Amino acid sequence: MMKRNEILEEMGLTPIWKLRRPPEKNDAGTIGDRTNDWSAVATVVVTANAQDAPRDIFAETAPRNVLVAGDERARRIAALAWEDFSKDVAACRACVLCEKRNKAVPGVGDIDARWLFVGEGPGAEEDKKGEPFVGQAGRLLDQMLKALKMTRNHDVYIANVVKCRPPGNRAPTPTEAEACRPYLERQIALIQPEIIVALGKSAASLLLNTDASIASLRGRVHCYRDVPLIVTYHPAYLLRSLTEKAKSWEDLLFARKQLTQETE
Ligand code: URA
């Protein structure tokens, strides 16, 4: 059994009492040794609130008859098989995010997973590789999974609210999130996870249909349809805050407890 300290070390959480200011940058910008790139994370947060979100095709061309087209599209996606899923996402033109994407990022992991992690949307690195959470936030997510003795390819599936990169790493607009919702819903229906972990505000808002803060949503078991859902901070946010990292670790332990309680 891994000792608590070893686990916290894996996540870069020890020793908490020593850290009085943001960790220093180093060339590698690695996470395990708490030398995250602070300035890069600050940029993410600033641009996440940007007002200049591109206008959305779906919204702009959404007179009454588009609702019917939207319903048809949702029905088609709801019937997609795994084999066709990624190709369908890659061809999607339902919102403006398709215009600047390099690669669509459908999701990654074990399609029979009990755990489903839902992030916000691809960043620059994800857009290049076509895989979610491969940048700095992703390395932290991998550390968190490792601390739980899991990997992204075993018993875990990782998806995002939107499958194409929002420019400048801004948060997806509600219209973009809605346009992409059928894909996430299809992933949930195909995977049938036993627990969903919503990573950050975009995922929590979409899945729980709420505008409440992460702080107010964490520490409770919510439900998406009939699947238990736990809310925690987004890994990109955690890169900035050691205290929130500790809270997020608590959230993951809480999630694991729900899962083990369920299977008992
Ligand atoms: N942030 C996310 O929410 N998802 C990713 O895939 C990468 C960064």
Task: Encode pLDDT of 221-241 as tens digits.
Answer: 999 999 999 999 999 999 988
**Minimum mean pLDDT among 26-30, 41-45, 199-203: which range?**
41-45
For residue 170, how far is its CA from the centre of ligand 1 (angstroms)? 11
Q: How confident is the model at residue 4 (pLDDT cuts 50, 70, 90)?
A: low
Q: Can you tell me whether residue 232 is helix, strand or coil?
A: strand
For residue 245, how far is its CA from the centre of ligand 1 (angstroms)? 17
Q: Burial level of 187, CB count in 10 A (0-12/13-18/19+)? A: buried
Q: What is the pLDDT of residue 264?
A: 59
- Name the β-bridge partners of 154: 151
Nearest-atom number in ligand 1 for the CA of 200 is: 3
Q: Can you tell me whether residue 24 is helix, strand or coil?
A: coil
Nearest protein CA to atom 6 of ligand 1, as residue: 132
Could you tell me if 87 and 129 are in contact, meaning their C-beta atoms sit under 8 angstroms apart? no
Mean pLDDT across the chain, nearest whole number?
A: 82
Show the ligand 1 pocket: residues with CB < 6 angstroms: 119-123, 126, 132-133, 135, 137-138, 160, 236
Q: Burial level of 40, CB count in 10 A (0-12/13-18/19+)? A: middle
pTM of the model as a whole: 0.79
For residue 59, how far is its CA from the centre of ligand 1 (angstroms)? 24
Q: What digits encode the pLDDT tens for the residues 46-105?
A: 222 333 333 333 443 444 444 567 789 999 999 999 999 999 999 999 999 999 999 999
Nearest protein CA to atom 7 of ligand 1, as residue: 133
* Domain assignments of the chain as residue spans, ordered by start: 4-53+61-69, 73-263
Q: Topology of 73-263 in CATH?
A: Uracil-DNA Glycosylase, subunit E (3.40.470)
